[in-house]
């Protein structure tokens, strides 16, 4: 019950912030439209609106940012900080939050015989992928996972097949399971980034590529994909605002100063508005 009340306070705080931005005379018509959509989505998802003042948090979103900033250089620095760390070529600099989805219910450990058979099926799936037979590859990975549902590689490989078949929601879930099973699995984060990019969700794609690069700093593919997503994000700022505001884990969003700062500053940054 307490968690539910806290969630509603979090949502109310975000709604309050979005409403303040919506009412500003400096907010463009396109931005207002995106803000309105974001608010409607939150209200529908959580059954709460600004009329429900009993959930109003003690501190507003801006006040929370200022109080957090005070510990690392003062409220003035927090209020004026850019979400791009002064560099428009590197949006979301410093942010590292990646949503790993609902907890995966791990099956019992596979026997050695099942593991060996599953690995053979995975190799057949890999061959099918090379031959561009994605449906057949998917079938092989499905069989491998049935035999050994605790192997992150199988889920990550199946995600690749789902991406090729444009089944992005299933690909995303497989990537989430893969990183739950193996939190240091850079390829799973990178593939999750590809999934988000395919859905034009460049905010989450950037965060995934950054996480992949934390684990494999020299991977050129992750670097290139990160740059592409950063560029695409800057081409559609209103969509990025909506993506940040409608994060699937609002409690993490509310407590992450980088993401909060991004949402707060994007609408106010003159150079971003001109762009």
Contacts of 81 (CB under 8 A, 6+ apart): 69, 261, 265
- pLDDT for position 249: 40
Is pLDDT larger for residue 58 or for residue 128? Answer: 128
Q: Using one digit for the tens of pLDDT, what is the confidence trace for 43-96?
A: 877 788 888 888 888 777 777 666 655 444 443 433 333 333 334 444 444 444
Task: Report the distance separating Cα 174 and Cα 156, nearest Å.
Answer: 6
Look at 11-20, 157-166, 200-209 and tell me which has the smallest mean pLDDT.
11-20
In this predicted structure, the answer to whether residue 168 has a pLDDT above a threshold of 60 is yes
234 pLDDT band, cuts 50/70/90, is confident
User: Is 263 strand, coil or helix?
Assistant: helix
Between 63 and 120, the higher pLDDT residue: 120
List b or e across 251-270, with b for residues whose CB sees 16 or more CB atoms inside 10 angstroms: eebbebbbbbbbbbbbbebe
d(CA 99, CA 78): 25
What's the full length of the chain, in residues? 275
Q: What is the pLDDT of residue 25?
A: 81
pLDDT at 141 over 80: yes
Burial of 52 (0-12, 13-18, 19+ CB in 10 A): middle
Long-range Cβ pairs for the range 135-143 (8 Å, 24+)? 135/165, 137/161, 138/162, 138/165, 143/118
Q: pLDDT, tens digit, for every residue of 244-273?
A: 555 444 344 444 444 445 544 544 445 444
- The answer to whether residues 99 and 249 touch, using CB atoms and an 8 Å cutoff, is yes
Query: Average pLDDT of 122-143?
Result: 97
Instruction: State the Cα–Cα distance between residues 228 and 225, nearest whole angstrom.
Output: 5
Longest dimension (CA), the chain: 67
Reported confidence tier of residue 134, pLDDT bands at 50, 70, 90: very high
Q: Which residues of 183-205 are buried (b: 16+ CB within 10 A; e: fewer)?
A: eebbbbbbbbbbbbbeeebbbbb
Query: Using CA atoms, how far apart are residues 104 and 102, in angstroms rounded to an integer?
Result: 6
Query: In angstroms, what is the C-alpha Rg of the chain?
Result: 21
DSSP per residue over 125-155, as a string? HHHHHHTT-HHHHHHHHHHHHHH-TT-HHHH
pLDDT on residue 261: 52
pLDDT of res. 59 = 76
Q: Of 72-76, 173-177, 237-241, which range is least confident? A: 72-76
The C-alpha atoms of residue 182 and residue 171 are separated, in whole angstroms, by 16
What's the confidence (pLDDT) of residue 10?
83
Q: Which residue has the higher pLDDT, 168 or 84?
A: 168
Spatial contact of 194 and 230, defined as CB atoms under 8 Å apart: no
Mean pLDDT of 133-144: 98
């Amino acid at each position: 019950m307490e968690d539910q009340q806290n969630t509603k306070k979090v949502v109310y705080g975000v709604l309050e912030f979005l409403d303040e931005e919506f009412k500003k005379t400096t907010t463009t018509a396109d931005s207002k439209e995106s803000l309105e959509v974001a608010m409607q989505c939150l209200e529908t998802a959580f059954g709460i609106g600004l009329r429900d003042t009993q959930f109003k948090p003690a501190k507003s979103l801006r006040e929370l940012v200022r109080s957090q900033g005070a510990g690392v250089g003062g409220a003035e620095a927090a209020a004026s900080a850019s979400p791009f760390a002064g560099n428009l070529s590197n949006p979301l600099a410093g942010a590292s939050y990646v949503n790993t989805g609902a907890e995966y219910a791990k099956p019992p450990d596979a026997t050695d015989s099942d593991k060996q058979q599953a690995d053979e099926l995975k190799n057949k799936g890999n061959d099918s992928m090379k031959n561009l037979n994605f449906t057949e590859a998917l079938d092989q990975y499905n069989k491998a996972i049935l035999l050994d549902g605790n192997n992150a590689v199988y889920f990550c490989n199946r995600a690749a097949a789902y991406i090729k078949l444009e089944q992005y929601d299933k690909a995303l879930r497989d990537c989430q399971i893969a990183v739950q099973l193996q939190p240091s699995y850079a390829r799973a984060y990178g593939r999750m980034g590809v999934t988000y990019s395919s859905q034009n969700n460049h905010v989450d794609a950037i965060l995934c590529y950054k996480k992949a690069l934390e684990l494999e700093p020299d991977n050129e593919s992750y670097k290139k994909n990160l740059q592409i997503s950063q560029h695409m994000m800057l081409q559609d700022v209103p969509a990025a605002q909506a993506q940040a505001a409608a994060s699937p884990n609002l409690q993490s969003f509310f407590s992450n100063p980088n993401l909060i700062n991004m949402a707060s500053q994007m609408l106010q940054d003159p150079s971003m508005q001109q762009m």
